Chain A
Amino acid sequence: MLDASDSFVTEDGRTIGGVVMEMKNITLRFGGVVAIKDISFDIREGEIRAIIGPNGAGKSSMLNVISGFYVPQEGEVLFHGKQRPPMRPYEVARQGIARTFQNIALFEGMSVLDNVMTGRLNNMKAGLFQQAFWKGRAEKEEVANREVVEKIIDFLEIQAIRKTPVSRLPYGLKKRVELARALAAEPKLLLLDEPMAGMNVEEKEDMSRFILDVNDEFGTTIALIEHDMGVVMDLSDRVVVMDYGKKIGDGTPDEVRNNQNVIDAYLGVSHD
């Protein structure tokens, strides 16, 4: 077993570092409904960590716990070894966590460029007055931030739609724009909520390539939820499997694939 601080190099030459985030015995209830029941797992620096499970298994709730949006009733979330207090979303963002949403949450009327620029809000210090009159710090900041954003636009190959309003884009591209906005915050930890839901095969391939490239190029730690098993197994370093709020498997894709509980949950098992 690895220690929390150990690091190692994967077969394809990426360095996986120590634990950045640890979930300890998390339980989350909504009134009488137990969404997550006593789950523990960790996320290591530089890895792609997937959370999978059938519908209603509690995956999105889990992601919301990681992002700090939900505060679990029991258990603790350790970020860089320290217990994380309840936080507001902007505080989470400042800690270097960014996310995308299952049902795309972009500003539909704004251009792709402006949408991605909103990802840089945390890096803008100029006040309202300066912004409005394009004076002093505002100008310098915008130029610097635009540079970061343009690199991401180039990286995700969305130059051609830079000035297109988001509402005019097809679904697959909107997903890519959302990823661009999350990347604009230059996150340490990137949370992706079903990045491939509703995509056709080609779009899935593109998205998979971008996820791998992001991880490879920027060393971003990625936690993602997905229910396309094939995609998950190809992408991730380690997989957590959930079913009915409980963790039923955890390990490398191969380990998970051969786990009897996981097979039962996915293929069904006769209850006699």
Chain B
Amino acid sequence: MSQTAAQTSSGAGQLLSVPALLEKNATVHANRPAYREKEFGIWQSWTWKETAEEIDALALGLLNLGVSEGDFIAVIGRNRPSLYWSMVAAQSVGAVPVPIYQDSGAEEMAYVLDHCGAAYVIAGDQEQVDKVVEIKDQLTNLKHMIYIDPRGLRKYDHSHLHQYSHVQEQGRAARDELSAELAARRGKLDYESTCVMLYTSGTTGRPKGVVLSNRNVIESAKNASEFDHLTAQEDILSYLPMAWVGDFIFSLGQAFWCGFCVNCPESEDTMMTDLREIGPTYFFAPPRVFEGQLTNVMIRMEDAGKLKRRMFHHFLAHAKKVGGLILDGKTVSTMDRLKYALGDMLVYGPLKDTLGYGRIRVGYTAGEAIGPEIFDFYRSLGINLKQLYGQTEATVFITVQPDGQVRADTVGVPAPDVELRIADNGEIFYRSPGTFVEYYKNAESTASTKDAEGWVATGDAGFIEESSGHLRIIDRAKDVGKMANGALFAPKYVENKLKFYPDILEAVVFGNERDRCVAFINIDLTAVGNWAERNNIAYASYQELAGHPRVLETIRNHVEAVNVSVAQDEMLSGCQIHRFVILHKELDADDGEMTRTRKVRRRIVEEKFADIIAALYDGSDQVSTRTEVTYEDGRKGAISATLTCVDAKVQSAITRAVAAE
């Protein structure tokens, strides 16, 4: 079904593989830039025609080295045109490219290279070559290694090690003998042949090799490009790991489908400068990038002159009021529009230029929850920032937000050709042309993830909002429980809402198999301490500040506000917080309460503070407790405290119904 769609849209020839798309681009967009890389302070660029020549030369060189069809070719390094070309060259000779995270350690790399039995490795530089050399003995299949940057590698044993440019030269020299073979291998590629294999990052257990076919990649790229009206005029900045499915789709899939230009930064550290220089029109970043940029802007504005600062805050307040509405095409009064235009000239425009968003048409963020105020800040400036929900197994796209229907708390409607289903336990299932072929050499996992009809379990729980048809993600499905009355219990959903308040650093919500929910709160010492200073509230320690009546009052207001917002969701209204305490200590990795990456270990916290939880449920006003702590030098000590249990107002189902009317 989807095959016919591609055939009809291709017109001339059949665009059933990435090398076929390359051939098309080399003709249709011959002299348009395909790749740029900043090197030696200058943006070097290659047209589609030149790109095709580079890829051909490398493909011939790979044939010359003896690459067979079905071989796996690992690609390791930072985002560089040559590495993207390596992947397409590998496809051209019927091999399967396997991009690998460049920051993975030798051991992790050994697992992946051994698992796929990579016969060839194309590495960016000495650092990556060294890692592979270190584990070479474990890799029985490895035949040859190719590197791009020769620095420091001159004296290595070159019996199985080759410089990228030399492989290309040898390929060009052997063009006459090998071009027939190359054409034959390219001709065999179709929608069913493997396009790429990507290893999932493996936060749980060993990484799994997700096999994606040309159908998966091209259909997904095509659908998403049409969804956002992408054209050959786009510029993107490729700085996210090449081994991540998103980069593969944006920088290769969509770039080849649309024929737009992929720009590679000079180095990891120069990404922000390069972003400003390129001014991408289509951009993806995880929430932390947007957060970091916003913080930077705010800090720099603190140092600006008085006039500039006042102007900045005045117009930003106006943007907050109408910017988002204008972007969504809603009705806004002429006066407000005029003022917004003036603000754009004086503040928003220059600010967007500084951030590198001067030309942006479509921006996406995904991966984790983004703070609503951060999201709204960018949107109010007129940056079309949207959210999407996806995973490697879906070739990225499951749901996306259409223009004009963007909200911080949803992840959008099903992407074109994606079918969505929510199971009884809240788990999200999807079926789409992007649905992966299989986990390589892992039939068991494939079977447990994808059923016979092609439905894939995401492992995430969520629900479709009735009013808008948008999907909302609640939590990982395995963390979602049931309350005593059978309602859905989604702690992380509520915790995230609480953590969006700057005063609240951490929150842990309990309520699984109980009749109501209670919460532990950690205040943010910087934010609350700052507030205390401004209000002349003296405190000696975290514990003292945490127990201050006015702090309790502030947090109670936050909790009640969250309750109001939670109550809006029919399925989750049971998760409102009835009572809470502000903990006498910060949850800490040294005490085992959190992981090193600062994720709360729910079960350990529950056991450790069982007495406090009991007090929250039995209605006592106060609870005295004693907690063992580990200091940074490893010594142990104990803190005693008497904590106040605070009641918070919850919204009943009836008032909600009234509010809704």
Contact = CB atoms under 8 A, between A and B. Distances in A.
A159 B267 contact: yes
B41 A217 contact: no
B237 to A, nearest CB: 15
A153 B270 contact: no
Interface string B143-162: 00000000110110000000
Q: B-side binding surface: helix, strand, loop or mixed? A: loop
A147 to B, nearest CB: 7
Contacts of B267: 157, 159-160
Interface string A126-169: 00000000000000000000110011011101011011000000
A74 interface: no
Interface residues of A, number: 17
Given A13-B155, A217-B151, A217-B152, A151 B269 contact: no
A12 interface: yes
A213 interface: yes
A109 to B, nearest CB: 19
A216 interface: yes
B266 interface: yes
Interface of A is mostly: helix
A150 B40 CA distance: 5
Nearest to B273: A160
A216 B156 CA distance: 13
B159 to A, nearest CB: 15
Interface in B247-270: 266-267, 269-270
Contacts of A154: 39-40
B270 A213 contact: no
Interface string A192-228: 0000000000000000000001001100000000000
A162 B151 contact: no
A150 B155 CA distance: 25
Interface in B115-161: 151-152, 154-155
- Give the interface centre of A12, A13, A153, A154 by most chain B CB atoms within 10 Å: A154
A42 to B, nearest CB: 26
B152 A147 contact: no
A217 B149 CA distance: 13
A12 B41 contact: no
A159 B152 contact: no
Contacts of B155: 12-13, 216
Contacts of B266: 159
A213 B41 CA distance: 21
A272 B620 CA distance: 80
A13 B151 CA distance: 15
B275 to A, nearest CB: 13
A228 B461 CA distance: 58
B41 A146 contact: yes
B41 A162 contact: yes
A13 B270 CA distance: 34
Contacts of A213: 151-152
Contacts of B152: 213, 216-217
B40 A151 contact: yes
Given A157-B267, A159-B270, A160-B267, A150 B41 contact: yes
A242 to B, nearest CB: 32
A113 B155 CA distance: 31
Nearest to A162: B41
22 contacts: A12-B155, A13-B155, A150-B40, A150-B41, A150-B42, A151-B40, A153-B40, A153-B41, A154-B39, A154-B40, A157-B267, A159-B266, A159-B267, A159-B269, A159-B270, A160-B269, A160-B273, A213-B151, A213-B152, A216-B154, A216-B155, A217-B152
Given A147-B40, A160-B269, 14 more contacts: A146-B41, A150-B41, A150-B42, A151-B40, A157-B267, A159-B41, A159-B266, A159-B267, A160-B267, A160-B270, A160-B273, A213-B151, A216-B154, A216-B155
Top 8 A-B pairs ranked by shortest CB distance?
A160-B269, A150-B40, A13-B155, A150-B41, A160-B270, A159-B266, A159-B270, A159-B267
Interface of A: 12-13, 146-147, 150-151, 153-155, 157, 159-160, 162-163, 213, 216-217
